[in-house]
């Protein structure tokens, strides 16, 4: 009987733990040398339960690596001017090395205006146009956490990207667009030939089947089936969805990829949960450490 081949699991939880250990050692070293303790602040507007969970996780993770963290909680009906004042305060607060404004924001607020008001030197989310521009030009700066986490996974698993066909599903500012740029730039990982697919792409499966590396950030639960994936492909799943399940919680988590099916076809695959997700916070902490060390801005 021949043994059925299954994909190697890319263990984001384990890699994130390793990255956080490395950060923790560097934070301890900074404190030993009498530098200020790195400080990450977060701004959260309103009571969005998912945002509350994310911010609480970021706060806890920062503390676990020895950083200081603080959270600014603002009401749902805050005006844009008041939010901009909080950003100005954080820009000028010498004790804060980096901060994030958790998204989404309520409809009365112009997100681009808010992101544009953050001092690029403190923009550890890497969302400010200056940091996005630096990434596009290949200059040192903050790269947003999810794409940076994907690149770190490819690097630590020694996955060859040079000359490969990478297909990215999704073109969001947070994931699809930046990861497509990082995969095509002259670097390792990188040097891939990149195709970006999105909601207007026709015959999407023709592209997904041609991918050596398939990065799925399309926001549709279990959209990618086995017959859409090339044998031996590397599949990176950025999606995270709650789907109804017959268990205590009433739901389970699933990605954009039908994991059980695709794991039989792919060479490597990230699970959900435990793949890209845990890397996001680890890379945010890495950016905060860079901010404290003034690596990119004086
Ligand atoms: N909302 C969803 N993902 C993110 C993120 O990475 N940063 C911020 N600030 N908000 C988010």
- What are the structural domains of the chain? 33-121 (3.40.50.10860), 144-277 (3.40.50.720)
In the prediction, which pLDDT does 1 show?
61
CA angle 236, 216, 159 (to 5 degrees): 25
In the prediction, which pLDDT does 139 show?
96
Q: Which atom belonging to ligand 1 lies closest to the Cα atom of 103?
A: 10
In the prediction, which pLDDT does 5 show?
75
* Separation of CA 102 and ligand 1 centre (Å): 5
91-107 tens-digit pLDDT: 999 999 999 999 999 99
Ligand 1 contact via 102 beta carbon (within 6 Å): yes
Mean pLDDT over the full length of the chain = 97
pLDDT at 47 over 70: yes
* Separation of CA 196 and ligand 1 centre (Å): 22
CB 119, CB 141: distance < 8 Å: no
246-255 tens-digit pLDDT: 999 999 999 9
pLDDT at 298 over 90: no
CA distance 159 to 150: 11
**Kind of pairing between the strands at 39-45 and 68-74:** parallel
* Separation of CA 71 and ligand 1 centre (Å): 14
169-227 tens-digit pLDDT: 999 999 999 999 999 999 999 999 999 999 999 999 999 999 999 999 999 999 999 99
What's the mean pLDDT in 66-94?
98
In the prediction, which pLDDT does 124 show?
98
CA distance 145 to 174: 9
In the prediction, which pLDDT does 2 show?
60
Q: 43: how many CB neighbours lie within 10 A of its CB? A: 21
212 is catalytic: no
Ligand 1 contact via 59 beta carbon (within 6 Å): no
* Separation of CA 103 and ligand 1 centre (Å): 5
58 is catalytic: yes
Q: Which atom belonging to ligand 1 lies closest to the Cα atom of 100?
A: 9
pLDDT band at 3 (very low <50, low <70, confident <90, very high): low
Q: Which atom belonging to ligand 1 lies closest to the Cα atom of 101?
A: 9
Backbone angles phi, psi at 223, to 5 degrees: -70, -35
Question: Closest residue (by CA) to atom 8 of ligand 1?
Answer: 102
Mutate to test the pocket of ligand 1, among 131, 143, 146, 174 (most ligand atoms within 8 A of CB): 174
In the prediction, which pLDDT does 291 show?
98
In the prediction, which pLDDT does 4 show?
67
* Separation of CA 25 and ligand 1 centre (Å): 26
114-123 tens-digit pLDDT: 999 999 999 9
93 is catalytic: no
């Amino acid at each position: 009987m021949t043994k059925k081949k299954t994909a190697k699991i890319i263990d984001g939880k384990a890699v994130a733990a390793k990255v956080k250990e490395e950060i923790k050692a560097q934070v301890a070293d900074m404190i030993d040398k009498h530098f200020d303790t790195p400080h990450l602040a977060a701004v959260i507007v309103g009571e969005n339960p998912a945002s509350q969970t994310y911010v609480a996780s970021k706060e806890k993770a920062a503390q676990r690596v020895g950083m200081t963290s603080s959270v600014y909680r603002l009401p749902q009906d805050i005006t844009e001017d008041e939010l901009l004042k909080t950003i100005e305060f954080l820009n000028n607060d010498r004790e804060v090395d980096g901060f994030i404004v958790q998204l989404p924001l309520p409809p009365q607020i112009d997100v681009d205006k808010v992101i544009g008001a953050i001092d690029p030197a403190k923009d550890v989310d890497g969302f400010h146009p200056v940091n996005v521009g630096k990434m596009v030009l290949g200059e040192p700066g903050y790269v947003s956490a999810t794409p940076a986490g994907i690149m770190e996974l490819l690097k630590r698993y020694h996955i060859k990207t040079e000359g490969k066909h990478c297909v990215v599903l999704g073109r969001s500012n947070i994931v699809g667009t930046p990861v497509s740029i990082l995969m095509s730039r002259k670097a390792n990982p990188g040097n891939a030939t990149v195709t970006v697919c999105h909601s207007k792409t026709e015959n999407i499966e023709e592209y997904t089947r041609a991918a050596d590396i398939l990065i799925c950030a399309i926001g549709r639960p279990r959209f990618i089936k086995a017959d859409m994936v090339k044998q031996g492909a590397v599949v990176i799943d950025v999606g995270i969805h709650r789907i109804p399940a017959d268990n205590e919680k009433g739901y389970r988590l699933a990605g954009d990829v039908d994991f059980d099916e695709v794991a039989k076809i792919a060479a490597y695959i990230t699970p959900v949960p435990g793949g890209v997700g845990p890397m996001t916070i680890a890379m945010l902490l890495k950016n905060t450490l860079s901010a404290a060390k003034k690596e990119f801005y004086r």
